[in-house]
Amino acid sequence: MRVDEVAEPKGQSSPRSLAKIAGVFYLLTFLTGILALVLRGPWSLASGLTAGACYIAVTLVFYRLFKPVSGSLSWLAAFISLAGIAMGPLNLLHLIPFQIHSLVFFGFYCLLIGYLILRSTFLPRALGVLMVIAGLGWLTYLSPPLARTLSPYNMIPGIVGEGVLTLWLLAVGVNVQRWNNQGDRS
């Protein structure tokens, strides 16, 4: 056993496993989301729904992963993400009485995840900064004319921030000892 690994109780996922699971589902979200943009017809819809399901998994795993940092902020982030995920299908079915782009929700979600990473001791602060910048890019969708003017450049911070976080989770994960210590202090 390495120094930064600590045994977990039976039946519980280790923080390192949670990070890897989040990374896998984040990568699947990217891939199926791209397919949804490229494909047409029922394949686009199926890819979009798969991307949404994968992002639900990311959201739930992130809730668990960041709960030791702040349970209430982790819960708020999860709630905002799930609301954003629900916006896509509800907008397609015209069941929302107001128009708001789902990326606005992901902007707030990325801001909260970035803040949680900055407050954590088990992930590099640079990832938190990238996620905050990603959130600011997505928040340009609060103003559709602004988002159209800045497009596609307003998407770059989100793709970079979330992409780097995905790669970090897959390649490195989290520092388990610090994650456990963070949980002891919260």
Task: Give the per-residue pLDDT at 92.
Answer: 76
CB 142 within 8 A of CB 104: yes
Assigned token pair, 20: 């890897």
Distance CA 157, CA 149 (A): 16
Task: Give the per-residue pLDDT at 4.
Answer: 41
Question: Cβ–Cβ contacts within 10 Å for residue 92, how many?
Answer: 11
Range scoring the smallest mean pLDDT among 6-15, 107-116, 133-142: 6-15
Q: How confident is the model over 145-170, as pLDDT tens digits? A: 999 999 999 999 999 999 999 999 99
* Nearest alpha-carbon partner for 52 in 31, 35, 74, 33: 33
Contacting residues for 71 by C-beta, under 8 A, at least 6 apart: 186
Assigned token pair, 31: 């891939």
Q: How confident is the model over 1-45, as pLDDT tens digits? A: 443 444 444 456 799 999 999 999 999 999 999 999 899 999 999
- What is residue 145's three-state secondary structure? helix
Q: How confident is the model over 60-71, as pLDDT tens digits? A: 999 999 999 999
CB 93 within 8 A of CB 87: no
Percent of the chain's residues with pLDDT above 70: 92
Distance CA 89, CA 98 (A): 14
Would the pTM of this model clear 0.85, i.e. be above it? yes
